Amino acid sequence: MSKSTLKFCWVALMAVAGAETAAAARWEKGYVVAFYDPAFRFGGRADYSRGTEIEPGVDCPHGSTVHFAVPAQVAQSLSLVRWRSPKEVEELANPPATGLNRDPAGVYFHTWRAASAYRGYNKAIETYINPFAAEDPGQPQVTSRIGEGFNLDGKVKPGDFVSPEGEKGVDNQLYRAWGCDAPWRGANGNGTLVLRSNDKMVEGLYTIVIRISGNKDPLNDDDATLEIGYSPDQIVKDARGNVGMDYSYRLLHSEQYTKLKARIKDGVAETEQADIHMPQIAWFENQTRDAFFRQGKIRVVPNADGTAAGLVGGYRDFRALYTQNAFAQSGGVQGVREHEDHVALYYALRRNADGMFNAKTGRYDGISSAYRMKLVPVFVVEPDRPMGIPSRESEARRRQAFDVTAAATIKAVDTLVPQEVPSGSGELAATDGIEIGPGGVPIRGRGGKGSGRNSAIPTKR
The residue ranges that bind another protein (CB under 8 A) are 61-62, 80, 82, 121, 132-141, 143, 158-159, 344, 347-348, 350-352, 354, 362-363, 415-418, 455-456, 459-461
Least separation in angstroms between residue 456's CB and another protein is 6
Task: Count other C-beta atoms under 10 Å from residue 374's C-beta.
Answer: 19
Q: CB of residue 44 vs another protein: minimum separation in angstroms?
A: 13
Q: Three-class SS of residue 381?
A: strand
Residue number, 49 or 415, with CB nearest to another protein: 415
What is the spatial distance between Cα 409 and Cα 44, in angstroms, rounded to a whole number?
Answer: 34
8 Å CB contact between 67 and 335: yes
Q: Give the span between the Cα atoms of 106 and 123, in whole angstroms.
A: 24
- Is residue 186 within 8 A of residue 46, CB to CB? The reply is yes
Closer of 136 and 153 to another protein (Cβ): 136
Q: How far apart are the first and last CA of the chain?
A: 103
Nearer CB in complex with another protein: 86/388:
86
Q: Nearer Cβ to another protein, position 82 or 168?
A: 82
Q: Return the number of the residue (101 or 141) whose C-beta is nearest another protein.
A: 141
Which of 399, 393, 325 minimizes the C-alpha distance to 128?
325
With respect to another protein, which residue has the nearer C-beta, 133 or 202? 133
Residues 6+ apart with CB under 8 A from 281: 36, 37, 38, 197, 287, 291, 324, 371
Q: How far is the CB of 92 from another protein (least distance, A)?
A: 19
CB of 158 to another protein, least distance (A): 8
For the CB of residue 348, give the shortest distance to another protein in the complex, in Å.
Answer: 7
- Is there a contact between 217 and 301 (Cβ–Cβ < 8 Å)? no
**Residue among 212 and 404 whose Cβ is closer to another protein:** 404
Based on CB atoms, which residue is closest to another protein, 363 or 392? Answer: 363
What is the smallest separation between the CB atom of 138 and another protein, expressed in angstroms?
3
User: SS3 for 316?
Assistant: strand
The CB-of-28 to another protein minimum distance in angstroms stands at: 43
Tell me the chain's radius of gyration from C-alpha atoms.
Answer: 25
Shortest distance in whole angstroms from residue 100 CB to another protein:
30
| N residues, the chain | 461
Nearer to another protein, 366 or 418 (CB): 418
Q: Output 104 or 159, the one with its CB closest to another protein.
A: 159
DSSP state of 189: G
Contact 207, 240 (CB under 8 A): no
> At 219, which helix (H) or strand (E)?
none
Strands 207-214 and 248-250, sheet pairing: unpaired
SS3 of residue 112 by DSSP: helix
C-beta of 403: minimal distance to another protein in Å? 20
Q: How far is CA 230 from CA 88, 251, 256, 374, 460, in A?
A: 49, 6, 6, 16, 46
Q: Which is nearer to another protein, 181 or 285 (CB)?
A: 181
Distances (CA, A) of 6 to 16, 20, 400: 15, 21, 76
Q: By C-beta, is 33 or 348 nearer to another protein?
A: 348
Neighbouring residues of 56: CB distance < 8 A, sequence distance ≥ 6: 44, 48, 50, 62, 63
Query: How many angstroms separate the CA atoms of 267 and 240, rounded?
Result: 29
Q: How far is the CB of 413 from another protein (least distance, A)?
A: 8
Cβ of residue 120: shortest distance to another protein, in angstroms? Answer: 9
CB of 265 to another protein, least distance (A): 33
Burial class (CB in 10 A: 0-12, 13-18, 19+), 449: middle
* H-assigned helices in 308-362: 318-326, 331-338, 342-352
CA distances from residue 330 to 110, 119, 287 in whole angstroms, order as listed: 12, 15, 12
